[in-house]
Structure 1
């Protein structure tokens, strides 16, 4: 059986992405959580991933690390499952925006670390942060207008692209980022998705916490 090695569900945005794909498409797997920032964290991660980071997917003698590479491996291994959109134009668009997510949005990542256990006051919206927010909203709007056909996710049914952007949805929600009405509708769909709800439920009962993830932010509400 596939094994997905992940970090804390409360904070690990990169782990969330392939986990959502596996769970959403009912692909059997087992998970192993290696808590972040523990004395033995890197050593344990190196047992699975040469980068010393999670997530990592183990499939017998094959090991794949990095979220997007894992998702692509799953799409190849399970071709009968529509992990990427079936339509060629939509699929190309979905891969492009997913790669953009994988390599970009650094200001948003730094200003709003993923933290599913709390809600914070909106941080100062700098020019760089505004650019990241606007770009994410534009991506979602274009995808839904062109390909969703009135359905809630970016390309109609939930896909790998939605999994790639789920941590951004979580950040916008946790830090109460002001967004367009259409953006809020998309966010609500992702937050209500059963796989995301299951991840968040498990995150809220984890025994580990990393105080640094809340440093510099004004706590409004805690769920843990």
Structure 2
């Protein structure tokens, strides 16, 4: 069975991507969660990940230590990771790669913190541009391939890679077009996303770096976490 190493569900957007992909496609796996610690996590995470980062997938003696590589590794072994239609598959791979390496302003100003609600202090131009591009991309995929998911009627890797954005939109109250907002609601309503959020709200760990990022971003309106 696959073993997926992840970090705190409240904060770790990269961990969410393969976790939700495996969960939605009903691919069996064992979760190993190691929370972020004070200061550097590199040494602790190096026990299972060559880069000292999460996520990291282990399949027997095979180690896959990048979220995109994990998606491709799974695609070689399981149907449904990418769309069957060639045009949809090409678009999905491009959109996934754009998420994997882009949207720096969104990451900087709206770090993932599932359990809080924040009103941003301001909306820098770079953040506005990232949100507009995501809205454009989502609207294109939904219109071109018919929905209800980005590349057609089934959840695939491209949806998994944008799943953390749905949590960010919820946390920071980011305005989206009606079609993009409906897609956010759809993602947040998935069983795996609800399970992830429930676990995130129940976590008692607090990582000061992530907490400070969220406090710097805006005014906290609500903290829904139970710990």
Interval containing the TM-score (normalised by the shorter chain): over 0.9
Please report how far the alpha carbon of residue 40 of structure 1 lies from its aligned counterpart in structure 2 after TM superposition: 7.6
Q: Do the aligned partners of 1:42 and 1:53 also contact (CA within 8 Å) in 2?
A: yes
Match of 1:114 in 2: 112
- 1:133 & 1:39 partners in 2: Cα distance? 31
Match of 2:178 in 1: 181
TM-score, normalization by structure 1: 0.95
Q: Which of structure 1's runs of 4+ aligned residues deviate more than 4 A? A: none
Deviations 1:105-161 (A, max 9, x none): 0001000000101110134111111110000000000001001x2x32112211110
RMSD in angstroms over aligned alpha carbons?
1.2
Match of 1:4 in 2: 4
Distance change (3 Å), C-alpha of 1:183 and 1:63: same
- 1:46 & 1:178 partners in 2: Cα distance? 39
Match of 1:85 in 2: 83
Residue from 125, 128, 134 that aligns with 2:126: 128
Please report how far the alpha carbon of residue 221 of structure 1 lies from its aligned counterpart in structure 2 after TM superposition: 1.1
Distance change (3 Å), C-alpha of 1:40 and 1:101: closer
Structure 2 spans left out of the alignment, 5+ residues:
none
Match of 1:53 in 2: 53
- 1:175 & 1:39 partners in 2: Cα distance? 26
Q: What secondary structure, in the 3-state scheme, does the structure 1 residue paired with 2:111 have?
A: coil
Match of 1:43 in 2: 43
Question: Structure 1 residue 158 and structure 2 residue 163: aligned?
Answer: no
Structure 1 spans left out of the alignment, 5+ residues:
none
Q: Do the aligned partners of 1:34 and 1:41 also contact (CA within 8 Å) in 2?
A: no
Q: Do the aligned partners of 1:115 and 1:213 also contact (CA within 8 Å) in 2?
A: no
Question: Structure 1 residue 221 and structure 2 residue 225: aligned?
Answer: no
